[in-house]
Structure 1
Amino acid sequence: MSTATLESPAAPAARRNRPFAWVEQSLTLAWRNIVRIRQNPEALADVTLQPIIFLVLFLFVFGGAVAQGGTWQDYLPFLLPGLLVQTVVFSTMGTGVGLNDDFAKGVFDRFRSLPIARIAPLIGAVLGDAVRYTLSIVILMVTGFALGFRFGNGVGNGLLACLIVLAFALSLCWIWVWLGLKLKTAQGVQGIAILVMFPLTFGSNVFVQTDTLPGFLQTFVNLNPVKYLVDTMRGLMLGGEVQKPLLITLAWMVGLVAVFAPLAIRAYRQRT
């Protein structure tokens, strides 16, 4: 009897402290986020309807004017890789908004009372939202293929491009995780995210070639990480230079995680 009494309180701590327990716990919490999405499908509007609307809007409204060939069919191969980047980049802010909302509802107070690693809820939130990013990529690519887009550099390179943009999204979302933990309201997170996202995406080569822009804007675009990600997408999907923009993109990804993941973990510990 005494042995059971002594071992019982230690059991949760043992489960929490066993090697790599945080991986299992993070995956469990990621599944919790996926289930929540399934129960609230309208929350997927930004990654299901928005990619289709953006593609149709920019392709048919601006295609004839922007495309060098003068038709939307000529503009589609140029537009789709860039729009893929824009769509996924915009999707990342939902991670921070969701985290902020969970804190406001007291969900993380419940997590704090459980025998789990403190980092698990953050990693679980990021991994769970990877499903949203993937869904956004699939929907945009299916729509593009329906309109006539084809990989010009092989299916394998095209799929690699999709994996790279997904990895970039998982790196970028740590900014919004940090802001979601630092700001008071979800509306504040969304407002700041939009202010950052619009210059990054529209002030880039997503819609037009860099050399068609004014000189001062070209300087900004050449410092913009989105520009190099878009170049990587186009190189892999259509053919062209890949190595230089890919290396720069990978450097940005490592830098984003190295800077903002520790900041997010520190902010999380301060709040819990």
Structure 2
Amino acid sequence: MSTVATTKENQAADALAFEAPKADELAALLVGQVRPPRPSALSASLTFGWRAMLKIKHVPEQLFDVTAFPIMMVLMYTYLFGGALAGSVSAYIQFLLPGILVMSVVMITMYTGVSVNTDIEKGVFDRFRTLPIWRPAPMVGYLLGDVVRYLIASAVMLTVGIAIGYRPDGGVVGVLAGVALLLVFSFAFSWIWTMFGLMLRSEKSVMGVSMMVIFPLTFLSNVFVDPRTMPGWLQAFVNNSPVTHLSTAVRELMAGNWPAADIAWSLGWSAVFVLVFGAVTMRLYNRK
């Protein structure tokens, strides 16, 4: 009994010895400290881009679509259509490779939307929205990380193409110019899928809608054949398709030419995608 009484007395003494901090003292503690500087837009975007790369590091299977898929596309279409359309594989690969490069990279842009939707379902975006950073940084980070994937896909396809007979007359400069234009377009085009990633409820629906958009856009183009062999009504669509302008520009740059009109069209389409779908994406992101 005496032990219990002693314990209570000690607790009471401790409670008296401890005085709760006053409100002004707490305010001085919280406000008086020097805050770290707010990260710049570039720094925040690069940080989220590095996050996207770390996800690939921990789940390397994500590189399947930029390694095995491009190799399969080059080999399958070259040997399937080469003899029938151009008379030989070596002749057809000169026309096909820049186009199939454009088609493959544009098709894998859809996975940006899938990644966005997955993070939303996991609740990661709720944390992003509370951070004191540039608001578009998480979205731009996704796209910057995917640009590295597009670059890997381009390198893989060019390596396979050269191995089976592709010879770019534009040399290294022409190839680099073509790939650079493709990366700019793909970065802008990916904003469409970030919008779908925010709008749709599941990654399966994002994949389904993306395929409905990408397949007609890429196959109804000059990737495989010259549009002059198509019916007139179809030529009107194909000749004005953004994929056709991009494919022509990349093909001509790698051939050593300077297709100013097609380059301008490709850059113009890129600007439209960023301005329109980027604005819609950020509106959805702020309201999600």
Q: 4+ residue stretches of structure 1 with deviation over 2 A?
A: 1-5, 112-118
| CA RMSD, 1 decimal | 1.5
**Greater radius of gyration (CA):** 2
> Which residue in the other structure is 2:204 paired with?
187
2:14 alignment partner in structure 1: none
Partner of 1:96: 113
| Counterpart position of 2:30 | 5
Contact 2:174 2:256 in 1 (8 A): no
1:116 to 112, 120, 133: 133
**Aligned residues: percent identity?**
42
Structure 1 stretch displaced more, 143-152 or 55-64: 143-152
Q: Which amino acid aligns with 1:28?
A: T
Does structure 1 residue 168 correspond to structure 2 residue 185?
yes
Aligned counterpart for 1:83 among listed residues 78, 92, 100: 100
Name stretches of at least 5 consecutive residues in structure 2 with no aligned partner.
1-24
Task: Work out the CA distance in 1 between the residues paired with 2:194 and 2:179.
Answer: 23
* Structure 1 residue 11: Cα displacement: 2.1
Instruction: Specify the SS of the correspondent of 1:208.
Output: coil
In structure 2, how many angstroms separate the alpha carbons of the residues matched to 1:100 and 1:26?
19
Given candidates 26, 36, 41, the residue that maps to 1:22 is: 41
Distance 1:7 1:214 in 2: 73
The Cα of 1:239 is off from its aligned counterpart by 3.9
Find out whether 1:238 has 2:255 as its counterpart. Answer: yes
**TM-score, structure 2 as length reference:** 0.87
Q: In structure 1, what residue type is equivalent to 2:135?
A: R
Find the counterpart in structure 1 of residue 221 from structure 2. 204
Q: Which amino acid aligns with 1:200?
A: L
For 1:61, the equivalent position in structure 2 comes to: 80
Amino acid at match of 1:7: G
Distance 2:61 2:140 in 1: 24
**Secondary structure of residue in 2 paired with 1:11:** coil
Give the AA of the match of 2:32: E
**Does structure 1 residue 227 correspond to structure 2 residue 244?**
yes
Q: Secondary structure at the match of 1:167?
A: helix
Report how far residue 241 of structure 1 moved: 5.5
Shift of 1:112: 2.5
Give the drift of 1:42. 0.6
Deviates more, 1:73-82 or 1:232-241: 232-241
Taking structure 1 as the reference length, what is the TM-score of the superposition? 0.92
